[in-house]
Chains A and B, each alone.
Chain A
Amino acid sequence: EVQLVESGGGLVQPGRSMKLSCAASGFTFSNYGMAWVRQAPTKGLEWVATISYDGSSTYYRDSVKGRFTISRDNAKSTLYLQMNSLRSEDTATYYCTRDLNVYYGLLGYWGQGVMVTVSS
């Protein structure tokens, strides 16, 4: 069974940093692209970043480019999101997702999500 378990969220002040982790199990992690998707309170879904199966390619939405870094450790089956210079508009539940197959953006599996609150 595919499992994605996020951790590392919480309350952080504007301008500070936070690193999210996602522990994956139940599949061969190194075979799949992974992504982070966020959802602000009572709002819709917003794709944040994607990383290829081997980490060689990364993609970001414009609003996080230069501030967020997606990475992965295939030996540990873990996905990361380093978030710097956080803003109030980054407040959201962040979901770790796995691509269904070889197509980026087709999000076949989702974690339970981790809340990030950016506030002073």
Chain B
Amino acid sequence: DIVMTQTPSSQAVSAGEKVTMSCKSSQSLLYSENKKNYLAWYQQKPGQSPKLLISWASTRESGVPDRFIGSGSGTDFTLTISSVQAEDLAVYYCEQYYDTPWTFGGGTKLELK
């Protein structure tokens, strides 16, 4: 199984701050035939279902604010929030869909400082 490791597990932030969180996979998620990274980011707010934010490591889904930026390739990926807003307080999960079983990282929880 591909192991997904997210760091940090939690982070205290202030509104307006720039935030970065890391996701590392135990094997490359870059498929050579199409040059795509099979990595997604999800946001789960308290009491809600997860929501897909970013696919293919860096493609923002429709309606996702442009302050959310996904980057990285191969085994190392980053989710950056350029200027955190109060509504961004949530747990963020990365997920690989390169191979079954699809696996998620343990999550990064953003909390208010």
**Interface residue ranges, A against B (CB under 8 Å):** 35, 37, 44-47, 50, 59, 61-62, 95, 100, 103-113
Contact = CB atoms under 8 A, between A and B. Distances in A.
B56 to A, nearest CB: 8
Interface in B52-73: 52, 55, 61
Interface string B77-113: 0000000000000000101110011111111000000
A75 B76 CA distance: 42
A105 B49 contact: no
A105 B106 CA distance: 17
Contact of A107 (B95, B101, B105, B106): B95
A36 B73 CA distance: 27
B51 interface: yes
B49 A59 contact: no
B74 interface: no
Nearest to A62: B101
A100 B95 CA distance: 14
Nearest to B56: A106
B49 A45 contact: no
Contacts, number: 60
B95 A105 contact: yes
B101 A45 contact: no
A95 B55 contact: no
Contact of A110 (B51, B95, B105): B51
Contacts of A45: 42, 44, 50, 93, 95, 104, 107
Contacts of B52: 100, 106-109
A1 B50 CA distance: 17
Contacts of A104: 97, 100, 102
A15 to B, nearest CB: 24
Nearest to B36: A103
A10 B42 CA distance: 26
